[in-house]
Amino acid sequence: MRPIRLASVVLSGVLLAAGLTSAASATASSSCGASGAVTTAGGSLPDGATYLIQCPAGHWNGTLFLYSHGYVAPGSANPAEDVGDPVTGGWLLSHGYALAGSSYATTGWAIQQALPDQISTLDLFDQTYATPSRTIAWGHSLGGIITAGLIQRYPDRFTAALPMCGVLSGGVATWNTALDSSFGFQQLLDPSVQVVNITDPTANLANAEAAATAAQQTPQGRARLALAAALDDTPGWFTPLSAEPARSDVTAQEANQYLWDTQVDFPFAFALRAELEARAGGNPSWNTGVNYFTQLSRSADRTEVAALYHAAGLSLTADLQKLNHAIRISARPSAVRYLAQNIAFDGQLPVPVLTMHTTGDGLVVPQNEQAYQQVAEQAGDSAMLQQIFVHRAGHCAFTPAETITAAQTLLNRLNTGRWDLAALSPARLNAQAAALGPSDNIYPAGSSVIPTAPAFQRYRPAPYLRPFSLPTR
């Protein structure tokens, strides 16, 4: 299986800035910053994870950004990371901010290890330099759920949080929704694939991809692929910097969902789920009691599915009845408890939180933001939360300018003690990002870097299809 690393956009080939240097040392200095050059400290944590710390060349302003990286597939390289892309890192360092982050002791769904490893990194920073006056948790993808988990589990250690493209529905909801989609695929297209208790992940993934490739060749297969994708709200937009297909262009939407399936989502659904099940001691997902008529009626993709079924001459009602009458899957309670611990959310927000998501994210769909907003409202803490969206396809497909603008917005909330709602408008965010200049308004495309305008947009995600939350403490 090809290696998968889903942490953030990496602007390969783009230098931080001329003249930045680093000196690797586990105990670089008792003072962070003011050395005349960017300094780097790295080493190992007690459980074998590695850490990385960067101090600015000039005066450190007392604020530390603790970065949580994304999912690393088992067998892939797992270095410590302290920022999602080097351009954003260069901007933060040049403005006096310190950066830190760890690798986590394991790969895969490593939340159990990531949370204490990130706290150990904070402890090490305190011991080596000084306790920051402000500590901001931030991260991409799986790092987004880790960021939200850090402020829930260790509220006294953080001043604010910036989860980006985060799995903010929580672990239980995420894998339940993935089960609905893979269950639909299994029942309607390939009964041979395993959707839980996967015994041979490599073969299982290969079988699923072969079945999807065959289904994509016929109108009936494409309609059923679209139905399975709709049960996970997979968007019909795949390639960053491409134009979003028109709402009426269901053919293009389904073709993009097929790309999400075969290039991104299927490895998680049909292979990497096995890593989670091994961690949890069994299957943590279930679809007992799920009504698939209801699920489709709530899906953002329901109109597309109906149109494709009509064009294919298929009965959508018959296929939904087949799903509803199929033998259901139950979870192992102890595995559910593991996944809820690693991690689900209670909605209590002890610090200001700003989230950012692309509207065309088919791995961590933007409906995750609705799930997080809902639990914050239920806990009475929605005033601590603001959410911004970028109109672009792709997972974590942000420009450095958009990321820097999000960080500036959160810093302004800390400086003033309130959210500036006018400044959170897409027009103001886009103007602020554009003002950063051409070196920050870029996006990688293969070996090239493409000038890219900021694309903040007012957006309201549809309801998350399989919500799950912890009771408020």
pLDDT in tens, 134-150: 999 999 999 999 999 99
Q: Looking at residues 293-315, what average pLDDT do you find?
A: 98
Q: How confident is the model at residue 446 (pLDDT cuts 50, 70, 90)?
A: confident
Residue 6, classed as helix, strand or coil, is strand
Q: Strand 353-360 vs strand 39-44: parallel, antiparallel, or unpaired?
A: unpaired
Residue 3 has pLDDT above 80, yes or no: no
Q: Which domains does the chain have, with CATH numbers?
A: 5-168+343-457 (3.40.50.1820), 171-336 (no CATH)
Report the C-alpha gap between 185 and 197 in whole angstroms.
16
* pLDDT score at 260: 98
Q: With beta carbons less than 8 A apart as the criterion, state whether 241 and 303 touch.
A: no
Look at the alpha carbons of 356, 338, 383, 62 in this order and tell me if their dihedral is positive or negative.
Answer: negative
Of 284 and 19, which is predicted with more confidence? 284
pLDDT tier for residue 472 given thresholds of 50, 70 and 90: confident
Note the pLDDT of residue 2: 35
What is the tens place of the pLDDT at every residue in 213-248? Answer: 999 999 999 999 999 999 999 999 999 999 999 999
The Cα 307–Cα 236 span in angstroms is: 14
200 contact partners, CB below 8 Å, separation of at least 6: none
Asked if residues 104 and 113 have their Cβ atoms less than 8 Å apart, the reply is yes
Q: b/e for 269-294, b at 16 or more Cβ within 10 A?
A: bbbbbbbbbebbebbbbbbeebebee
Q: Residue 233: which residues within 8 A CB-CB, separation 6 or more? A: 177, 299, 300, 301, 365, 367, 462, 464, 465
In contact, 131 and 153? CB cutoff 8 Å: no
In this structure, are residues 53 and 41 in contact, taking their beta carbons and an 8 Å threshold? yes
The mean pLDDT value of the chain amounts to 94
Q: List, for residues 183-194, the tens digit of each pLDDT value.
A: 999 999 999 999
pLDDT score for 9: 39
pLDDT per residue over 13-56, tens digit each? 343 333 333 333 333 345 899 889 999 999 999 999 999 999 99
DSSP state of 269: I
The residue among 171, 168, 164 whose CA lies nearest residue 68 is 164
Residue 30: the pLDDT is: 59
Residue 324 has pLDDT above 80, yes or no: yes
Cis peptide before 119 (omega within 30 of 0): no
Q: What is the mean pLDDT of residues 283-303?
A: 98
Q: What distances in angstroms separate CA 468 from CA 19, 190, 345, one per listed residue?
A: 49, 28, 8
Centre a 10 Å sphere on the Cβ of residue 202 and count the other Cβ atoms it contains: 12
Other CB atoms within 10 Å distance of the CB of residue 13: 10
Give residue 455's pLDDT band: very low, low, confident or very high (50, 70, 90): very high
The pLDDT of 251-259, averaged and rounded, is 98
Q: What is the tens place of the pLDDT at every residue in 397-426? A: 999 999 999 999 999 999 999 999 999 999
DSSP helix/strand/coil, 134: strand
10 CB-side CA count, 13 A: 10
Residue with tokens 């892309």: 85
CB half-sphere exposure, 72, CA atoms < 13 A:
19
Q: Which residue has the tokens 């306790």?
A: 131
Task: Decide if 322 contacts 227 (C-beta within 8 A).
Answer: no
On the question of pLDDT at 337 being above 60, the answer is yes
pLDDT over 80 (residue 473): no
Q: What is the pTM of this model?
A: 0.94
Q: What is the mean pLDDT of residues 198-204?
A: 98
Q: Which pLDDT score is estimated for 335?
A: 98
Per-residue confidence (pLDDT) for residue 5, from 0 to 100 = 46
